[in-house]
Amino acid sequence: MASSQISAKPDLGSLRIQDGQRSQSKVGKRVLIASIPVLILAIIVAAAFAFRNQKPVVEVAAAAKPDTGGRQALLNASGYITPRRRATIAAKITGRVTGVFFDEGTRVSEGQLLATLDDSDVKRSLDSAKADRDSAQAAIADYEVQLRNANIQLRRAQDLQAAGVQTQEALDNARTAVDSLKAKIELAKQQVAATESRIGVAQQAVDNCTIRAPFAGVVVSKDAQVGEMVSPNSAGGGFTRTGIATIVDMHSNEIEVDVNESYIARVENGQQVAATLDAYPDKPFPAKVRTVIPTADRQKATVKVRITILNLEKYDFILPDMGVKVAFLENEQPARRGKSKDKEKGPQAVAFIPKSAVRSDANVSFVLLVRDGKVERRAVSLGLDRGTEVAVLSGVAPGDSLVVKGPEGLHDGDKVEIR
């Protein structure tokens, strides 16, 4: 029994770490530490292999063809088509819409009926005012009949008093009756005039229930439907409309652009302009500067310029709020005797490119063309600066794709991917 209890005691010596085990653990750690640089090198090699065949991504822009009728463009700008006559038609009173007689795109004439409002209440007020007027006019007729009878009584009283048959008191009473009827007639006439004014007010209220076009134009927005409430002021939260329709006079369309104040000296009133819509780049049209707004935007450092479109009726594709690009042209100079016009102007621009496409190296300007997925370096001769673009006298042709944004280390012949 005692021998079995002694053999059951734990052997603490079995928990000791032998020297051989310590040496094996140290060897394993050394192998792991030595393999870390190899692993890092393998990752770098794999990454380099993965990115070796990846092409640089670039953004390109096409060289624009100068379309200025033979004149040099002094400045380029962009803006929008804005009508000078544009109105949101609203009701003068608050009411419920009972009829809408137009749709988007409808051409309307001046005074044409656009919509009607519920006029049942104001018509009742009008009928009440007319009834009051008729009542006052009927009272006048009654007073006039009484006045004729009172005049007869007055003459009879005068004759009797002159004959000494009737007293002075009876004569005075007859005169008082005549004067009283005359005063009542005047009062009734004033009441008629007052009711006429009320009729005018009520009639105006009835007329306000019909909304008409203030000028001829095209409806570009339909803002209310039958059954909705409209009001000249915003009332009732978001459930009350403040407008019925928006009408634009298409014959008043013009161009509005913001010109950087650094270049505004190149713009003057009456200056010829070549304009092109973003939606129709192949349909340029002539224009001229109408006015330069005599104030600058302090935050944007720009000056607003309004441009009149020449022969606007010929360009039915010009719509409000369209984006447009314009080129301010130089004024025509009279040709000198013995010199041709082309020689006076000097080299003409063959294309216009963004400034971001121009790079320089050792005082030489060049651009990077993209052809068949490869970069081609091309030296260029630059001309007049016109805002965000610059004229190219030689080196590129209209339509060439130029790198405007990409890595700095691009070289001739590099393969690229266009974003």
Closest CA to 271 of 301, 310, 323, 319: 310
What is the structure's pLDDT at 12? Answer: 53
Is position 142 within any domain? Answer: yes
pLDDT digits (tens, 9 = 90+) for 247-300: 999 999 999 999 999 989 989 999 999 999 988 888 889 999 999 999 999 999
Q: CA 367 to CA 102: how far, in whole Å?
A: 55
Per-residue pLDDT at 344 exceeds 50: no
Is position 147 within any domain? Answer: yes
| Domain identity same for 177 and 189 | yes
| Domain identity same for 398 and 373 | yes
The domain in which residue 109 lies consists of 87-118+209-248
Least confident of 77-81, 117-121, 224-228, 410-414: 410-414
What is the structure's pLDDT at 292? Answer: 95
Higher-confidence position of 38 and 300: 300
pLDDT digits (tens, 9 = 90+) for 178-210: 999 999 999 989 999 999 999 999 999 999 999
Residues 245, 306: contact at Cβ < 8 Å?
Answer: no
| Domain identity same for 200 and 133 | yes
Higher-confidence position of 322 and 336: 322
pLDDT band, very low/low/confident/very high, at 3 (cuts 50, 70, 90): very low
Q: CA 368 to CA 372: how far, in whole Å?
A: 13
What is the structure's pLDDT at 231? Answer: 86
Compute the average pLDDT of residues 96-107: 92
Residue found under tokens 């792991």: 32
What is the structure's pLDDT at 338? Answer: 46
Residues 350, 396: contact at Cβ < 8 Å?
Answer: yes
To the question of pTM greater than 0.85 for the whole model, the response is no
What is the structure's pLDDT at 386? Answer: 67
What are the helix (H) ranges across 367-416? none
Is position 111 within any domain? Answer: yes
What is the structure's pLDDT at 6? Answer: 44
Compute the average pLDDT of residues 357-368: 84
When the pLDDT of each residue in the chain is averaged and rounded to a whole number, the result is: 82
Could you give the C-alpha distances from 140 to 143, 150, 183, 210, in angstroms and in order? 5, 15, 11, 35
What's the token pair of residue 215?
């000028």
Is position 140 within any domain? Answer: yes
What is the structure's pLDDT at 217? Answer: 93
| Domain identity same for 100 and 232 | yes
| Domain identity same for 240 and 366 | no
| Domain identity same for 395 and 266 | no
| Domain identity same for 114 and 131 | no
